[in-house]
């Protein structure tokens, strides 16, 4: 596979106000990657995701999509870019006052001139892809947590995005559902060529689907490793990375102080 | 056994000549049972300088729980302060383990929150900065709302028609019962108060003027405004706040759908349409309340009362009332939506958003009334 950078992050600092959470982030996501953003709790994984999708401005540095500087373009241009993203939020974030069908139809209505029948067909297809065929008229409050995640994924895929972002996809799912979601993510990557960026700390998923990653370390306030997580496990010398990837079994005593 | 079914707990000491203090624990050491204080051990330690070690005898100890552990932790602290070794051998296995666990992780430096005492001036400064920030935020929001509304007038705003109809129903028809009750009662109250005063002059008939003009010109609008800010403004704030907590608003933004157009605009339109209608309804019921007082208490005739009301009311008064209520509709919708959109991501923040929406809208309603009344006075309306 030829490597074609789709997201390039240069010297990115992020934080809130004068508080810097992470500094000097540098990494590249290639087309077709399943890119994992990992790190302990509170290290800023979700914040990084927010910056990547345009919900929060970075303190410093650049994010290039292709060769467009995402945060320095006009807001309207940025919005055009955001159309190419699909985002699955941690809790699904389905609009609770609308049925699943309406949830998925809204982005389609927003950007495409289609009649109701055509939209209905697309909605049915997307729901079928995530295993929720026939659930069009359910409200988000009527389905289970795992189904909400899948419905959220169906909505994220509504516009056939180039890049899919996932915020903790397996949080709150039982192991089997989490595994099924992982398989679905890989399937999407392979069949649609979608680039996938995932924030997670679920080791099973990290090794099962990730082929590129960045590790954010909360103590040193920067990234301490990047690359294929399986290679990191085999080769990394950094004790913190090792400890994370082996669930604390290696990399020295678990700090208790 | 005492009334709670505990064996009373007890504590005594034996010191041996080689400096070993044996603390003997007896009975049930459970929370809820009156327990001896650890201070007794401290007194013992302070009194006898010859004590070199502290040990325990628990042969008579029955049941124990955290009550024993807190005691032991305190004793351990005293001992380490006085540099006296503590021998845990005599303690039950479980207590020994837990005691070790509790002291295994030293308290993290800086983890305990310190109560910072800020000076008066720094607090005033901080709230002034905060006030400035929130004022800017509010102006921003109003500006955005205006732009969105203009977009709507040119037919360029995106929102769902069904949402608008649902909102119209929610803040129109469904508000009728409470508006009815309150405006009839308000009419009655105005009538009573007026009647008592006017009777002195024998001018009972003018109750119709008091109630009619009072209700139609301002009270009807204010009361519907206040009812709607408690009923609908708070609901808007809670709805939008929950959507914010749930990342639903983020989901809209990342799809390039403006929350201002999609969520705030239909709420604003719904209230601006419905408030004047509710106000007219409240005016009518208020007059009805006055009529009840007039006919029932002052022996006025029905037609007499209605004629007097008709003479007292002019189209200008009616127009001023409607203008009030349209303004209040905008204010209630804006404050509800503003507080909802500002909501932070927690359950208590949603509650705070709802409260603050009601406070903001009531304050702005009263301020707006004062301004409008003053302007009308100056213009001679």
pLDDT in tens, A1-37: 567 888 888 888 888 877 888 888 888 998 888 999 9
Are A110 and B256 in contact (CB < 8 Å)? yes
Residues of chain B with pLDDT > 90, as a percent, come to: 55
In chain A, the residue whose alpha carbon lies closest to the alpha carbon of B166 is A97
pLDDT in tens, A166-177: 988 887 788 888
pLDDT in tens, B279-292: 999 999 999 999 99
Asked if ipTM goes beyond 0.85, one says no
**B111 close to A (CB below 8 A):** no
**B22 close to A (CB below 8 A):** no
How many angstroms separate the CA of residue B133 from the nearest CA in chain A? 14
Q: Which helix (H) or strand (E) holds A226?
A: strand A222-226
How many angstroms separate the CA of residue A107 from the nearest CA in chain B? 6
Task: Quickly tell me which residue has 């005293």 as its tokens.
Answer: B78
Tokens of B90: 């005599």
Tokens of A65: 């999509």
Residues of chain A contacting residue B256, judged by C-beta atoms under 8 Å apart: 79-80, 82-83, 110-111
pLDDT in tens, B208-253: 999 999 999 999 999 999 999 999 999 999 999 999 998 899 888 8
Can you give the residue ranges of every domain in chain A?
A: 5-84+161-246
**B161 close to A (CB below 8 A):** no
Are B252 and A82 in contact (CB < 8 Å)? no
CA distance from start to end of chain B: 85
Residues of chain B contacting residue A171, judged by C-beta atoms under 8 Å apart: none
pLDDT at B35: 81
In whole angstroms, give the CA distance from residue A95 to residue B243: 8
Mutation target vs B (from A110, A112, A160, A161; most B CBs, 10 A cutoff): A110
Residue B378: exposure state from Cβ atoms within 10 A (0-12, 13-18, ≥19):
exposed
In chain B, the residue whose alpha carbon lies closest to the alpha carbon of A97 is B163
On whether the CB atoms of residues B271 and B332 are closer than 8 A, the answer is: yes
Residues of chain A with pLDDT > 70, as a percent, come to: 96
pLDDT at A219: 79
pLDDT at A157: 87
- Which of A56-65, B33-42, B43-52, B370-379: highest mean pLDDT? B370-379
Residue A101's pLDDT band, with cuts at 50, 70 and 90, is very high
> What percentage of chain A's residues is helix, strand, coil (to nearest 5)?
40, 25, 35
pLDDT in tens, B107-129: 666 667 777 788 899 999 999 99
Residues of chain B contacting residue A93, judged by C-beta atoms under 8 Å apart: 246-248, 250-251
Q: What is the mean pLDDT of residues A195-200?
A: 91
In chain B, the residue whose alpha carbon lies closest to the alpha carbon of A254 is B105
CATH number for the domain whose boundaries are A5-84+161-246: 3.40.50.300
Does residue B83 sit in helix, strand or coil? coil
In whole angstroms, give the CA distance from residue A91 to residue A192: 25
On whether the CB atoms of residues B212 and B321 are closer than 8 A, the answer is: no
């Amino acid at each position: 596979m030829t490597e074609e950078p789709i997201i390039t992050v240069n010297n990115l600092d992020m934080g809130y106000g004068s508080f810097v959470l992470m500094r000097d982030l540098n990494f590249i996501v290639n087309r077709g990657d399943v890119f994992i953003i990992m790190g302990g709790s509170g290290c800023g994984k979700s914040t990084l995701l927010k910056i990547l999708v345009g919900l929060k401005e970075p303190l410093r540095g650049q994010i290039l999509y292709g060769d467009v500087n995402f945060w320095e373009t006009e807001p309207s241009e940025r919005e055009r870019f955001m159309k190419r993203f699909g985002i699955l939020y941690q809790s699904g974030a389905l609009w609770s006052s609308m049925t699943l069908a309406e949830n998925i139809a809204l982005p389609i209505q927003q950007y495409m001139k289609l009649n109701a029948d055509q939209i209905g067909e697309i909605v049915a297809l997307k729901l079928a892809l995530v295993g929720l065929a026939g659930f069009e008229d359910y409200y988000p409050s009527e389905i289970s947590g795992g189904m909400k995640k899948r419905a959220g994924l169906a909505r994220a895929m509504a516009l056939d995005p180039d890049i899919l972002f996932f915020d903790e996809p397996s949080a709150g799912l039982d192991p089997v559902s989490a595994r099924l979601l992982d398989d679905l993510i890989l399937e999407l990557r392979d069949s649609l060529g979608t680039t996938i960026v995932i924030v997670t700390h679920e080791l099973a998923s990290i090794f099962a689907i990730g082929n590129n990653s960045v590790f954010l370390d909360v103590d040193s306030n920067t990234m301490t490793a990047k690359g294929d997580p399986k290679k990191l496990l085999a080769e990394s010398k950094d004790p913190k990375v090792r400890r994370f990837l082996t669930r604390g079994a290696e990399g020295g005593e678990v700090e208790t102080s | 056994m005492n009334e709670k079914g505990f064996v009373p707990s007890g504590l005594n000491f034996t010191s041996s000549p080689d400096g070993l203090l044996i603390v003997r624990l007896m009975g049930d050491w459970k929370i809820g049972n009156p327990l001896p204080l650890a201070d007794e051990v401290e007194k013992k330690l302070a009194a006898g300088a010859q004590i070199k070690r502290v040990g325990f005898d628990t042969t008579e100890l029955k049941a124990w729980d955290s009550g024993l552990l807190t005691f032991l932790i305190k004793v351990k602290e005293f001992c380490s302060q006085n540099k006296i070794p503590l021998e845990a051998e005599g303690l039950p296995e479980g207590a020994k383990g837990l005691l070790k666990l509790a002291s295994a992780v030293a308290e993290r430096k800086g983890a305990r929150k310190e109560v910072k005492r800020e000076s008066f001036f720094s607090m005033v400064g901080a709230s002034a900065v905060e006030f400035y920030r929130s004022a800017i935020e509010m102006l921003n929001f109003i500006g955005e709302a205006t732009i969105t509304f203009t977009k709507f007038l040119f037919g360029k705003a995106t929102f769902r028609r069904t949402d608008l109809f649902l909102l119209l129903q929610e803040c129109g028809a469904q508000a009728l019962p409470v508006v009815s009750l309150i405006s009839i009662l308000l009419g009655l109250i105005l009538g009573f108060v007026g009647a008592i005063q006017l009777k002195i002059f024998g001018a009972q008939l003018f109750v119709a003027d008091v109630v009619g003009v009072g209700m139609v010109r301002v009270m009807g609008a204010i009361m519907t405004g206040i009812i709607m800010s408690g009923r609908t403004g708070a609901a808007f704030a809670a709805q939008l706040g929950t959507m914010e907590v749930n990342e639903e608003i983020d989901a809209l933004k990342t799809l390039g759908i403006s929350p201002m157009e999609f969520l705030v605009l239909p709420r604003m339109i719904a209230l601006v349409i419905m408030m004047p209608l509710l106000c007219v309804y409240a005016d009518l019921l208020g007059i009805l309340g006055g009529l009840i007082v007039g006919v029932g208490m002052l022996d006025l005739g029905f037609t007499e009362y209605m004629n007097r009301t008709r003479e007292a009311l002019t189209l200008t008064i009616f127009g001023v009332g409607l203008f009030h209520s349209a303004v209040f509709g905008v204010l209630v919708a804006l404050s509800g939506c503003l507080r909802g959109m500002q909501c932070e991501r927690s359950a208590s923040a949603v509650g705070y958003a709802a409260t603050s929406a009601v406070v903001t809208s009531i304050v702005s309603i009263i301020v707006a009334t004062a301004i409008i009344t003053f302007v009308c006075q100056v213009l001679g309306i």
